[in-house]
Amino acid sequence: MKLQTGVEAGVEGAVLKADVRELDFYYGAFHALKRVSMPIHDHMVTSLIGPSGCGKSTLLRCFNRMHDLYPGNRYAGGGIVLYPDNTNLLSPDVDPIEVRMRISMVFQKPNPFPKSIFENVAYSLRVRGMRNRSELADRVEAALKGAALWNEVSNRLDELGANLSGGQQQRLCIARALASDPEIILFDEPTSALDPIATASIEELIIELKEKVTILIVTHNMQQAARISDFTAYMYLGEMVEFGVTDQIFIKPQKKATEDYITGRFG
């Protein structure tokens, strides 16, 4: 199945950042992604929606090769091509660490390291070999400002990240993901552990962040996808059912299955 990209559909300012091409993925014997294809557009927010177990998180975790950490996981065909350099992220020749340096991730549950607020953000810079104190301080400040957390923590950077509230912790994790200036940030249901007010602030932040970075987000909250994303992909049972401009997916889906899911008749 050939999907129409935003470029082809004539969406204003749409440029391809990455392209998932007929990707197959297995957890042991379980065929979790079946010939999945989808485009990712530069400086846009793309949502992955679908019922539990549809493969949306599995697809997301292919983008930073998280699956490589566990035995038995297998990329079985196809790939994810990153533009403009045309690198296939899933190629065995590409080091997963190189991929993770280019594409960072924010997890479902806030997972700050048991270190200070400063060190949490600085960590993604330290693994890139940055040692200069003033440069680190500048980059950490910029990342915390980017994650809309600076005003709340600027006078207590030495405190433990775990002492912050849940929403603040998640923004700290966003700052950590942002600090290294990645090309794409992956969000894996980033607000599912947060209260509505913290959720709203994270959503607002994600919309602001697309100025700087391309965003791919998994969400089980359809309203959230509708609110924040430019493009939406609906997955079911490991297959890509429909991909398109968010408004179109929610107002006039092409497939009956998508319509059933979105209108709440199913899922």
Partner 1 sequence: MMKAADLAAIRAIITRAKRWDLFFSLLGILSLMVGVLTFTVLFVDMAIQGVPRLSVDFFTSFPSRRAEHAGILSAWVGTVLVMLLTALAAVPLGVAAGVYLEEYAPKNWITDIIEINISNLAGIPSIVYGLLALGLFVYYFGFGQSILSAGLTLALLILPVIIVATRESIRAIPQSIHEGSYACGATTWQTVSDHILPYSSAGILTGVIIGMARAIGETAPIITIGALTFIAFLPTAPFAGDPPAGLFDWIFAPFTVMPIQMFNWTSRPEAAFTVNAAAAGFVLVFMTLAMNGLAIYVRYRLRKNIKW
The residues that touch partner 1, with contacts defined as CB under 8 A, are 64, 66, 69, 71, 97, 100-101, 104-105, 107, 109, 111-114, 123-124, 126-128, 160, 162-163, 173, 176-177, 180
Please, which residue, 45 or 173, has the CB nearer to partner 1?
Answer: 173
CB of 220 to partner 1, least distance (A): 18
CB of 101 to partner 1, least distance (A): 4
Whole-Å CA distances, 240 to 3, 44, 93 = 10, 19, 27
Please, which residue, 62 or 262, has the CB nearer to partner 1?
Answer: 62
Query: Of 220, 182, 177, nearest to 199 (Cα)?
Result: 220
Please, which residue, 162 or 257, has the CB nearer to partner 1?
Answer: 162
Please, which residue, 15 or 160, has the CB nearer to partner 1?
Answer: 160
Please, which residue, 160 or 200, has the CB nearer to partner 1?
Answer: 160
* Residues belonging to the chain: 267
Tokens 């680190």, residue?
136
Q: How many helices (H) and strands (E) does the chain have?
A: 10, 10
Buried (b) or exposed (e) across 127-149, using 16+ Cβ within 10 A? eeeeeeeeebeebbbbbbebbbb
CB of 79 to partner 1, least distance (A): 20
CB of 263 to partner 1, least distance (A): 34
Please, which residue, 59 or 66, has the CB nearer to partner 1?
Answer: 66
CB of 159 to partner 1, least distance (A): 10
DSSP H helices, the chain, are 56-62, 96-102, 117-126, 133-146, 150-153, 166-179, 196-209, 222-228, 246-251, 256-262
Q: Which residues contact 237 (CB under 8 A, 6 or more apart)?
A: 34, 53, 54, 55
CB of 103 to partner 1, least distance (A): 9
